[in-house]
């Protein structure tokens, strides 16, 4: 399972946003030599969770925090897609984050259910 939350940025921009704890969007329109490429899942049994769609706005920590809450509350019954949907709904309900569109991709053939979280 992959959890992707980074976006293309130069070193100066990365340093600026790495030090930030705000929910300001990370830059999405910097010089990007790979702008015509995207992630394509080819490996079987893989789940990819993206904080937003390509070219979208991702507010630092919003989606990743919501997914962390879902992972912590794993009960051995709820599948990863249901967890993703809950986290995406939380992102949509966060004031100012309505334009962040998390993305889910999967090449699994079976339902992925995480074991209960250890406490």
pLDDT (mean) for 24-29: 52
The CA-based angle 17-56-31, given to 5 degrees, is: 60
pLDDT digits (tens, 9 = 90+) for 54-72: 888 899 999 999 999 999 9
Where residue 71 sits, what CATH number does that domain have?
3.40.50.1460
The domain of 97 spans 2-28+43-106
Length of the chain: 119
> Does 33 map to a domain?
no
Distance separating alpha carbons of residues 93 and 85, to the nearest angstrom:
12
The answer to whether residue 98 is domain-embedded is: yes
Q: What is the pTM of this model?
A: 0.69
Counted domains in the chain? 1
What values do phi and psi take at 38, rounded to 5? -150, 170
Per-residue pLDDT tens for 27-56?
Answer: 555 555 555 556 777 889 999 999 998 888
Q: What is the pLDDT of residues 6-21, one digit of tens each?
A: 555 445 544 544 444 4
Sequence-distant (≥ 6) Cβ neighbours of residue 103 within 8 angstroms? 48, 49, 50, 52, 53
Q: Whole-angstrom Cα distance, residue 58 to residue 79?
A: 24
H-helix or E-strand containing 80?
helix 80-93
Please compute the mean of the pLDDT values over residues 93-112 and round it to a whole number: 94
Q: Is the pLDDT of residue 118 over 80?
A: no
**Over 50: is that where the pLDDT of 102 sits?**
yes
Residue 114 lies in a domain: no
The answer to whether residue 74 is domain-embedded is: yes
Instruction: Find out whether 59 and 101 touch, Cβ atoms under 8 Å.
Output: no
């Amino acid at each position: 399972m992959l959890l992707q939350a980074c976006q293309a940025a130069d070193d100066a921009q990365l340093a600026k946003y790495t030090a930030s704890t705000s929910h300001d969007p990370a830059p999405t329109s910097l010089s990007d030599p790979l702008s015509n490429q995207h992630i394509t899942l080819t490996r079987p049994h893989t789940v990819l969770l993206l904080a937003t769609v390509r070219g979208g706005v991702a507010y630092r920590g919003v989606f990743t925090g919501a997914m962390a809450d879902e992972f912590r509350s794993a009960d051995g019954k709820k599948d990863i897609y249901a967890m993703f949907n809950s986290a995406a709904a939380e992102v949509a309900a966060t004031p100012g984050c309505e334009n962040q569109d998390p993305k889910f991709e999967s090449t699994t053939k079976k339902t992925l259910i995480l074991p209960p979280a250890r406490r």
